[in-house]
Amino acid sequence: MSIEGKTVIVTGGTSGIGEGCVRHFAELGAKVVAASNQEEAGRKLEQELQAQGRDMRFLFCDVSQEQSVQELVARTLEWHDRIDCLHSNAGVWRQGRVTDFTDEDWDLLMGVNVKGNFYLAKHVVPVMERQGHGVIVITTSVAVHVGFPAHALYCASKAALDALIRCLTTDHAGSVRVVGICPGTIDTPMLAASCAGWDQPKEVIYAEVEQKIPVRRLGQPLDVAKAAAFLMSDDASYISGTSLVLDGGTLVLPPW
Ligand SMILES: NC(=O)c1ccc[n+]([C@@H]2O[C@H](COP(=O)([O-])OP(=O)(O)OC[C@H]3O[C@@H](n4cnc5c(N)ncnc54)[C@H](O)[C@@H]3O)[C@@H](O)[C@H]2O)c1
């Protein structure tokens, strides 16, 4: 299950799931490039991990901008000469039904969650094809499978990634393995933000949610990081074109 020595890009690598992945991959001995639009948090994390002797660099990147993604790929090649794995994880969340959303919401969610993944794949795939090998892991969501109330745009943006995973797998067979990670309820700033506006404190909501999850706890970023490290490793070399659901068993619960 080793990713030691592999060059791994993690987008959204400065908060929540992405930060957990950056910490874990660096601890496993990978050469990690953490990319996000959180410059300050990125510099802090870089300093902390480098002080521990980890091979980790931060680069500002707005995944919704093609030039920014090109810069990420170019700088990673300059530093490490190859890209073994991409964990395309950056994402944004907004609530709302189709009757609520604005063009601004559409541009943000589709721009980051969908276009961002297209840009990353567009510029990373040729590098992996030249190398003859590479792995792309994309963070989707159980929102791909569930019609969450007031989540039309978020669910649609994540469902698009499921199709992208299948198409990348067929179009770039032989050199690029593509796998989705489909998290359920993971304890991150994004989850906390989704509790805003409810009439109970976050802790009470979390406790109630935990009682509904078959494994009786929220997921942690490290749960996702361990799974992602396995999927990137050569031990997962027969896994492509599919997604791993990490939701503590929630998806199989009966609807009533
Ligand atoms: N937390 C959950 O329960 C949960 C469940 C399912 C899926 N997810 C998905 O997991 C991923 C990570 O979410 P999280 O919960 O860690 O959220 P988070 O808000 O803690 O982290 C999101 C990260 O994405 C980055 N980001 C946002 N817009 C960006 C942009 N334009 N360019 C570059 N980086 C950008 C942020 O800077 C941040 O580092 C997202 O794709 C999210 O949709 C989360």
- Is the C-alpha dihedral spanning 209, 212, 217, 223 positive or negative? negative
- The series of mean pLDDT values per 10 residues for the chain, 256 residues long, is 94 98 98 98 98 98 98 98 98 95 96 98 98 98 96 97 98 98 98 91 96 98 98 98 98 92
Please enumerate, as own/partner, the contacts of 37-40 that have beta carbons within 8 Å and a separation of 24 or more: 37/61, 37/62, 37/63, 37/90, 38/14
Atom of ligand 1 nearest to the CA of 191: 1
What 8-state DSSP symbol labels residue 248?
Answer: T
pLDDT at 91: 98
Mutate to test the pocket of ligand 1, among 9, 11, 14, 36 (most ligand atoms within 8 A of CB): 36
Query: Which residue ranges have their beta carbon within 6 Å of ligand 1?
Result: 11-12, 14-18, 36-38, 61-64, 89-93, 112, 139, 141, 183, 185-186, 188-191
Residues tagged active-site = 154
Domain 7-184+220-246 CATH superfamily: NAD(P)-binding Rossmann-like Domain (3.40.50.720)
Per-residue b/e over 210-238, b at no fewer than 16 CB within 10 Å? eeebeeeebbebebbbbbbbbbbbeebee
Q: Report d(CA 5, CA 153) in Å as an integer.
A: 38
Closest C-alpha residue for ligand 1 atom 23:
12
Q: Report d(CA 146, CA 185) in Å as an integer.
A: 13
pLDDT at 177: 98
Q: Where are the domains of the chain?
A: 7-184+220-246, 187-218
Closest C-alpha residue for ligand 1 atom 14:
16
pTM above 0.75, yes or no: yes
pLDDT at 1: 66
What 8-state DSSP symbol labels residue 250?
Answer: G
What 8-state DSSP symbol labels residue 252?
Answer: G
- Cα(16) to ligand 1 centroid in Å equals 7
